[in-house]
Structure 1
């Protein structure tokens, strides 16, 4: 049952290295000898009249490729490539001996195009100016959606934050459970200073990837061959990364430590606070390769995020020019949250033969989380004095409503997740077959105790969801019981046992002069929820067939056409089993999506030889057994009853290439619509219904000062639905937030980037990279809102959605050094 075979692959062929060789005037060089020495002998080729060269490289073996010409310096390139790889390397030859950068290519760029995978260099990620930092910020630009710069979470094509898969070194990564605010997150799991390769799929992905509905982020870390160190420091924190390898290259390791303090960003918000955050982690990967066939890797991470928050005062102005309104809040109390996570994984990769590779992966994830707060907010909602000559200009002169709100929580969670997985990879002539089977055990101990009391104009408000006498004080006396406006109390001891598996087949063939790639696969997933002191759930099973088809016509244009899709299931994780009342429903069904994607990939060069790629994808999703939810900042609260159907459709377009010579820039555009129908009441916008999206990542330098670099990150998203309280009727709350507009800029002076040669003893000779820069977050000081605070006017019986604004303009210095 677990191994319904599927499809894949290409016969192993020697990788190809090719490119153009130019002189300092950007003119092609004819007659350059390109060669390397190998155990099979010396392999040579010569560049033609256009400077073009092409040479076959050994499979999975590092070689030194030499570029020799009597009129130019002898240059060399260390490179290692996998079977079927193709790599374009264009160089400018100078006048002695120049060693080019060490290059390791372990994925075929053509194969990524076939699968519709987005790839980006780690250097681009590290230089990206962003408030949250990390690889997730790049995804928000090119494919994902987000309106919270303090969060690393993102939504893709109508899905929510829980619908995205993240892998590091083939190992699935988990996030903390209780975090409700982006400013509490601190650090993403992925350490961008350790990344070697990053791939991202926004939908229609293959069966080898797990059981989520929206996207896959697949990351691999570097395997160093020599000692190196990298330091980054800014006003937001810093990181230190060390790497090394043994003399015989059998052992290698990389370790990174990070520290982050978001006080600079949070203090720019409208709420005055005493804020003491500490976000820190240590992450390491150690590799042992006893022989050419066998490799053992260990990946470990320890993180501790402490979030201490004491709000003091807030004033938010809203309304219109004719009728300005202000919300003033005076706070008392504090919040103390702590998230500790421990993660360890061992992966063994054994090459049984040239055509068969086996992987065994075991991982353990442990998280201990607490969320404790008591915050009293006393508010006044009133009219603003707009008389410029008045001494009280801008202050509230008349209060329409006064009240108080007391929030209390003592939430604790302890979760242990264990995985054991076996994967196989086979090359059979022109076919590639992949399969895998995985066992997962999830053990969650969760206590929820939180309540909210609202007092408006001296009278306690009853909750809207239970049958109580009407409270219309002061007109009539109220004789009913006093209860919290919102209360969640639960104690859950939940275990989930899962068995999942997949198999897929791929093949490369020809139709006439055109090339085609085919992939077909299937996943299956069985799970059961058990509880202490409660009824166990039923055993459930789902089967998910998927397929991809890619055509490359024999045209002069370098163009691909892709069609992919299938049935995608998302068996519920613990948070999806827990309803808005805190109770666990063990029989929640897997959300189900029929996904269909049509894409086009066009690579081209301009008249000046600049390379670009334009990718367009149209998609449609039909969703059943939808587990509806509300979003509070970044916390998702499910209703856990599969009470809706939904759909999502849209168009994504992205262009990347050399807008400026020597740099890579990205432009993206997206249109998306997603709606849900809850209990046949009609379709309304889902919480992630963000219609239009534009993103730009632009890199440039000053022509007269080429060492002065500029990086610009621009995002525009139309407004999301304004959200609703978890206890409210979603059909009543259908207003939208304002559009999200964000610009982050970075300016850096690069003392060296490793391409220049310095004499021994020069102070820069020890550095491979050294730069000092200025980062400006929210360059244009736009006011962006993440959610609404709902305030009740006791006199008019109206509710106001008061926007919770995000960060304003912030400046920071950043130092980067690599040796």
Structure 2
């Protein structure tokens, strides 16, 4: 929070309690939510001065004259001075709580002034929690906004997963309160995911880096999402309800501010969305979670925090029918399917973390973090699909209009699975932060133990024209059905059977140095660091001990120009030691000696802040190049990633990202983003082909507006255009033979809301709206223009022509929902 917002906070607080206050009191805290001790609180009115100081808990109490205008100052050498002018009435008390910001003159952090400058220097995108909460989306949350950023791609509104600059869904780091977050293993489809881990109502700060990030962040190849939760100062309640579910968040703090806590419960039902898809089904997917963060400060230098989460996804699915029309106007083709059977998937996760932060001195902070993640997952289904693929009857007067009149392929497909997984991941980490004049030294050491118990039992049988199709990937006796009968043993078309008990022990650590200096008249910031990671796979299989070393650096310069402009150069070596899913190959076996994928990043960026129409704007530009070795290639089916686990490829990615954000409408923030990406891989020196996430062009718009004559009526738009992804291939197939692309992805989500009251409005005591901090009712329209987007292909085989047809799997159509937001 910068000085302006700190002043606004004080003004709002003072206004709210400006009835009669011969005594003003409150709690003062710093930007890290620690009590601010020894802050001088005073007023000086016509030579009459009264003063006090805050105690160890940050509490102060100041007597002030009655009925006179006074200016109250909050002053300390380590903080920016804050003041508020206020006329206080007779009798009563007034409460002013202030979050004090570090003084720019004495800061040892790598900043110019405040947190906004720090993120500019490091090339981090900072996202307002208010923007996250208000912008509409079928899967609203932090990830809904990330998908609007350049370099971040997702073609699935039912999924919270995203790829960054050509990377896979597994290459992105997510931290909440310095704690790494994991997600379930077995999820195959976006509609199975449900809720993101991050509870938007609890968020205070969101920072995102799409490449070239510092050594203090972990070992992934693509991006970092770093989230901080709110430390409440007093009691509050937030609630949200819509046709897709609801949430309730309660927060409070003790009078002395030693204890604070926030707890949120969420429920989501995606029936409204999935029932708009082409497949007709009996389907009620439900997702629930309870999340809490409790903070305790025994002393002004020591804070203990607990973060806990319990989540359950229930995905019960009984498909009935599906018809997908594709082809051309002259040659329309349809896939018609009748289903029998059901799917029952459940994912239950438990997560708990304890963090201790101790301020040894003004220049040394010490953290100890421990966490446990436990997931129990089952994926059980038996689904028989009887299909016909052929030409569509286009005769409007025909009784069979729209149905298949000539079948090119007729058959049935039976899919069976009994997959169960139980995983326990434990972490213990120690971190240190040292300020030495204009330098800052950071270090950390971490141990991780991963214990995975996994059973895979999955097979598929395809029967066409009365005989079973043989597997395509094994040597078999001569088979030229249907012309000659096949007398061999009948086996499934695909079959995966494996039981894996795997343990992985990891040691990792980092050290990095930040320095601020002058280069002539220009300001310069330097960050240099190195990470090391050692791991070994044990259990049913035993791998070699492996180790990686990853040096990284950033250089930022701000010339002393009239224009407010920064230039950044960052990069280094980024390694991704394999997680369990990356060790498991396409037939379920674990290969313990899979190497870490390696990427060399080079990112050149420019950050330009300027005024347009006398309002603030910012243009951020980045060019990047990534060279990848030891690539673990994979196939992508919806959101399921199946690795080949053999490090048999090299790859590259390069592109440009631009983002212009500012007040296109006074008082609101909007974004325009553009991205260009090209990423290809070369498997076993066979030549370069597009990677599964090769999405060439991306345009995104986040727009906020209001009706000038009715400012309480607001509009929000979330618009994305992506060129088509590669259409993928059957998991067993040679990807070099499947290089077609899906159609372009176009989607607009719109929200219209009426604000009955918020922090800008003040109602007299007794008015029915006076009890609310915020009350908003809105209408949201998902996929406003009803675009037909697809995420993957269903592969149907025609036994006569030996052809595979890629049938698009279409996503959700237009959906309407009402949304109510309440804050007390």
TM-score (norm 1): 0.90
Structure 1 residue 468 corresponds to structure 2 residue 476: yes
Give 1:15 shift: 8.0
The verdict on how the C-alpha distance between 1:356 and 1:323 changes in structure 2, with shifts beyond 3 A counting, is: same
Q: In structure 2, what is the equivalent of residue 580 of structure 1?
A: 586
Q: Distance in 2 between matches of 1:559 and 1:518?
A: 17
Q: Distance in 2 between matches of 1:351 and 1:247?
A: 23
Matches within 5 A, 1:226-241: 226-241=234-249
Q: Distance in 2 between matches of 1:557 and 1:179?
A: 49
Range with greater deviation from structure 2 (247-256 or 725-734) = 725-734
Give 1:586 shift: 0.3
Contact 2:104 2:113 (8 Å CA) reproduced? yes
Contact 2:40 2:76 (8 Å CA) reproduced? no
Name the SS of the counterpart of 1:142 in structure 2: coil
From 523, 544, 561, give the equivalent of 1:515.
523
Q: In structure 1, what is the equivalent of residue 802 of structure 2?
A: 797
Q: In structure 1, what is the equivalent of residue 333 of structure 2?
A: 325
Give 1:210 shift: 0.2
Matches within 5 A, 1:20-39: 39=39
Structure 1 residue 731 corresponds to structure 2 residue 728: no
Give 1:476 shift: 1.1
Unpaired runs of 5+ residues, structure 1, are 1-13, 22-35, 46-54, 87-104
Q: Distance in 2 between matches of 1:776 and 1:514?
A: 49
The verdict on how the C-alpha distance between 1:709 and 1:568 changes in structure 2, with shifts beyond 3 A counting, is: same
Q: In structure 2, what is the equivalent of residue 670 of structure 1?
A: 675
Range with greater deviation from structure 2 (700-709 or 105-114) = 105-114
Q: In structure 2, what is the equivalent of residue 502 of structure 1?
A: 510
Which structure's relative contact order is higher, taking Cα pairs within 8 Å and 6+ residues apart? 1
Name the SS of the counterpart of 2:131 in structure 1: helix
Structure 1 residue 712 corresponds to structure 2 residue 730: no
The verdict on how the C-alpha distance between 1:132 and 1:66 changes in structure 2, with shifts beyond 3 A counting, is: same
Give 1:609 shift: 1.7
From 586, 594, 603, give the equivalent of 2:609.
603
Contact 2:74 2:81 (8 Å CA) reproduced? no
Q: Distance in 1 between matches of 2:293 and 2:128?
A: 20
The verdict on how the C-alpha distance between 1:154 and 1:58 changes in structure 2, with shifts beyond 3 A counting, is: farther
Q: Distance in 1 between matches of 2:226 and 2:661?
A: 20
Q: In structure 2, what is the equivalent of residue 658 of structure 1?
A: 663
Q: Distance in 2 between matches of 1:160 and 1:647?
A: 13
Contact 1:436 1:503 (8 Å CA) reproduced? yes
Name the SS of the counterpart of 1:526 in structure 2: strand
Q: Distance in 2 between matches of 1:245 and 1:718?
A: 49
Contact 2:40 2:74 (8 Å CA) reproduced? no
The verdict on how the C-alpha distance between 1:788 and 1:117 changes in structure 2, with shifts beyond 3 A counting, is: same
Contact 1:58 1:81 (8 Å CA) reproduced? no
Q: Distance in 2 between matches of 1:551 and 1:602?
A: 12
Q: Give the total of aligned pairs.
A: 759
The verdict on how the C-alpha distance between 1:620 and 1:319 changes in structure 2, with shifts beyond 3 A counting, is: same
The verdict on how the C-alpha distance between 1:540 and 1:582 changes in structure 2, with shifts beyond 3 A counting, is: same
Structure 1 residue 392 corresponds to structure 2 residue 400: yes
Q: Distance in 2 between matches of 1:756 and 1:564?
A: 45
The verdict on how the C-alpha distance between 1:605 and 1:617 changes in structure 2, with shifts beyond 3 A counting, is: same
Give 1:63 shift: 7.8
Q: In structure 2, what is the equivalent of residue 95 of structure 1?
A: none
Structure 1 residue 174 corresponds to structure 2 residue 182: yes
Q: In structure 1, what is the equivalent of residue 635 of structure 2?
A: 630
Matches within 5 A, 1:404-803: 404-532=412-540, 534=541, 536-606=542-612, 608-803=613-808
Q: In structure 2, what is the equivalent of residue 97 of structure 1?
A: none
Contact 1:63 1:79 (8 Å CA) reproduced? no
Contact 2:148 2:700 (8 Å CA) reproduced? yes
Unpaired runs of 5+ residues, structure 2, are 9-25, 29-37, 46-72, 89-93, 106-111
Give 1:128 shift: 1.3
The verdict on how the C-alpha distance between 1:391 and 1:57 changes in structure 2, with shifts beyond 3 A counting, is: farther
Contact 2:753 2:779 (8 Å CA) reproduced? yes
Q: Distance in 1 between matches of 2:323 and 2:715?
A: 36
Per-residue CA shift, 1:554-608, capped at 9, x if unaligned?
Answer: 00000000000000000000000000010000000000000000000000011x3
Name the SS of the counterpart of 1:162 in structure 2: coil
Contact 1:16 1:85 (8 Å CA) reproduced? no
Q: Distance in 2 between matches of 1:530 and 1:506?
A: 38
Q: In structure 2, what is the equivalent of residue 29 of structure 1?
A: none
Q: Distance in 1 between matches of 2:677 and 2:532?
A: 29
Per-residue CA shift, 1:256-292, capped at 9, x if unaligned?
Answer: 0000000000000000000021200000000001111
Q: In structure 2, what is the equivalent of residue 117 of structure 1?
A: 124
Give 1:310 shift: 0.3
Q: In structure 2, what is the equivalent of residue 261 of structure 1?
A: 269
Q: In structure 2, what is the equivalent of residue 129 of structure 1?
A: 136
Give 1:83 shift: 2.8
Range with greater deviation from structure 2 (57-66 or 258-267) = 57-66
Name the SS of the counterpart of 2:273 in structure 1: helix
Q: Distance in 2 between matches of 1:347 and 1:231?
A: 28
Q: Distance in 1 between matches of 2:238 and 2:329?
A: 52
| Aligned-pair Cα RMSD in Å | 2.3
Q: Distance in 1 between matches of 2:783 and 2:269?
A: 18
Give 1:181 shift: 0.3
Q: Distance in 1 between matches of 2:289 and 2:550?
A: 37
Per-residue CA shift, 1:70-109, capped at 9, x if unaligned?
Answer: 9xxxx998542443569xxxxxxxxxxxxxxxxxx99611
Contact 1:16 1:56 (8 Å CA) reproduced? no
Contact 2:7 2:82 (8 Å CA) reproduced? no
